[in-house]
Amino acid sequence: MRYNDSVELSMNRIKSPSEHPPEILSSCRNHLESLQNLRYLILLEVNQPSQVKLHLRMMEQHLNNLAGTLLHGQE
């Protein structure tokens, strides 16, 4: 399941933060920090479309990885 597929379904299966092992929480924090950094870079480079596209592709990868981490951590 991708991060944007049936958000309601996936949200119902996500554990509370205290139920996740520390390595999963660490991975999620790293992905969120990367997403914040890429958002900042997009704002700085808004007049450089090629850079913005690159950052958006990188953001999509981090979102997919974050979703995979959260969903995998439930098994």
Q: What is the pLDDT of residues 43-62, one digit of tens each?
A: 999 999 999 999 999 999 99
pTM of the model: 0.68
**pLDDT score for 12:** 55
| Spatial separation of the C-alpha atoms in residues 26 and 52, rounded to whole Å | 27
Confidence of residue 37 (pLDDT cuts 50, 70, 90): very high
- 18: its two tokens: 């205290």
Residue 69 has pLDDT above 80, yes or no: yes
Please state the φ and ψ torsions of residue 21, each to the nearest 5 degrees.
-60, 150
Q: What does the pLDDT average to over 16-22?
A: 67
Q: Is the Cβ–Cβ distance between 54 and 62 less than 8 Å?
A: no
Directed axis angle between helix 22-44 and helix 49-72, to 10°? 170
